[in-house]
Amino acid sequence: MTAHIESEKKDIAKKVLLPGDPLRAKYIAEKFLENAICINHIRGMFGYTGTYKGEKITVFATGMGMPSMGIYAYELCQFYDVEELIRIGTCGANQKGLHVKDVIVATASYTLSSYPYLFFDDNENIFYADQSLTQKLELAADHFGIPIQKGSILTSDIFDVYVEKEKYFQKYPKEIETLASEMEAAALFAIGKHLKRKTACILTVVDSIYQDDYVSSEDREKALDEMIQIALDAMVL
């Protein structure tokens, strides 16, 4: 038990999916896992453990932003001996060629956040996903016939929908090109780097400044289900 997780070590699997939204964790557990039980209620950050294709899997919400991701991913690794962690979330497109509902597998994340330096004394700006776990995401996507985009993403400390994006990008080096923006992956990859864990990230594009595309709640759910299915299958490969 930690300050943020009430579970016993035996309650949490070695493989964990990390959605940001606690209600999405509940949704995944109820729709995709067998015999799922809730193993965390603290601060409403729900965690569930069940089985998927016979494999013990935990789904644990992380909240929004790198500090929140950092708390849960660190505690899961440091105190619960989790070995593999995949972030599943949403993002905004940074490229004109990306469309709403496209699925992205992140190979790396660029960030200007102080989180890696303050926590790990790490001055790097680019943090990498584990190659083997990323390859499993690719294989799972191929199995389902779901096309993916693969490449670097940007992890920001702000929800950049609220700022002028072109001006915002001027704060980053010109040579940095990223597929999409989100708010948690770099913290997860930094934890993977320093605690020697396998970490990966798969995202669904839900907004873009380059297109005016309305996505109904039904369409969004279907798109997110595809991403969830890929992540779960990657966990059992």
Model pLDDT for residues 93-127, shown as the tens digit of each residue: 999 999 999 999 999 999 999 999 999 999 999 99
pLDDT band, very low/low/confident/very high, at 212 (cuts 50, 70, 90): confident
Q: What are the domain boundaries of the chain?
A: 9-236
pTM for the complete prediction? 0.94
Q: Is 212 a catalytic residue?
A: no
Which residues fall within 8 angstroms of residue 211, CB to CB, at 6 or more apart?
99, 100
Environment class of 79 (CB within 10 Å of its CB; exposed 0-12, middle 13-18, buried 19+): middle
Position 175 scores a pLDDT of 75
Instruction: Please say whether the beta carbons of 17 and 57 come within 8 A.
Output: yes
Residue tagged active-site, from 11, 122, 207, 225? 207
Position 34 scores a pLDDT of 97
Position 164 scores a pLDDT of 81
Q: Tell me if residue 48 falls in helix, strand or coil.
A: strand
Position 51 scores a pLDDT of 98
The CA radius of gyration of the chain, in Å to the nearest whole number, is 17
Could you please state the CATH topology (level 3) that the domain comprising 9-236 is classified under. Answer: Rossmann fold (3.40.50)
